[in-house]
Amino acid sequence: MDDDTARLERERKYHNKAFAEDLRKSVDKFYETIESSRDAHWHALMPLAKGCRVLEYGCGPGSAAFNLARHGAQVVGIDISDVAIAQSKAQAQAENLEIDFRRMNAESLEFEDNTFDIIVGSAILHHLDLDKAYKELHRCLKPGGKAVFIEPTGHNPLLNCYRKLTPQLRTVDEKPMRLKDFRKATSYFSEVTVDYYNLFTTAAVVFRNRPYFKKILSSLDRLDQWSFRWIPGLKYWGWMAVMILQKGRP
């Protein structure tokens, strides 16, 4: 078994276990503090989606595929995890949504060139060989099409320390996105934009069960954006980034 095959098999086994046993439930509380980046991801995506052919690049129950289908998109969802696909199919059937879910290797997509108007992903690129992923994303997008991703970043030393202390919550091969990883996308796409979020908002986690949680979260989000504007280098310490990739036209 070569290195790439072994890596992909490790990813498949881990995510089968993660979906089957809901391994990340213990950290759901922290994801409540990244509302601003999730909103930005969704707002970048939704104006483009209606009537379009969309690929969800890495899917699962409750992922973007379902809302996209409800808003009129024709959606295909892929994932390396057999369990993720089975759970997604079950949810789509229960909600009477027409979504085509397939188990597939994201680094070797089984689609024709220029198939999708939009590709969307959430916390998947940092699991992949980026050169292979960017190449496949570019190949499968139609000219002028866009890929919209939300990804964790890897520059904040406190977050990196937490990651080292909780290895059971991630695969051995994943690497949060760093500046060089975002810049690599410019070799494949005509336009790349990256916006950073969620540095101070994570502190709101201690107030998540309080009635004023939303107000504190909103205030910390404004502090994030003010800090990133006046101390630009600080943005790289944000936990999440939203990246939009556009394929050029001939």
Confidence check: pLDDT of 178 > 70: yes
Instruction: For residue range 208-239, list pLDDT tens digits in order.
Output: 999 999 999 999 999 999 999 999 999 999 99
Amino acid symbol at 242:
V
Residues in CB range of 72: below 8 A, 6 or more apart:
49, 50, 51
Is there a contact between 122 and 58 (Cβ–Cβ < 8 Å)?
yes
Give the pLDDT band (50/70/90) at residue 1.
low
Tokens 């078994």 belong to: 1
Mean residue pLDDT across the chain: 94
Residue 195: per-residue pLDDT: 97
Backbone angles phi, psi at 113, to 5 degrees: -60, 150
Backbone angles phi, psi at 247, to 5 degrees: -85, 135
Confidence check: pLDDT of 144 > 90: yes
The CATH number that applies at residue 137 is 3.40.50.150
Q: How distant, in Å, are the alpha carbons of 40, 109, 244 from that of 43?
A: 5, 26, 12
Instruction: Please tell me the distance from the alpha carbon of residue 109 to that of residue 98, in angstroms, as a whole number.
Output: 21
Domain that holds residue 16: 3-246
- As for how many domains the chain has, the answer is 1
**Averaged pLDDT for residues 42-49:** 88
pTM for this structure?
Answer: 0.95
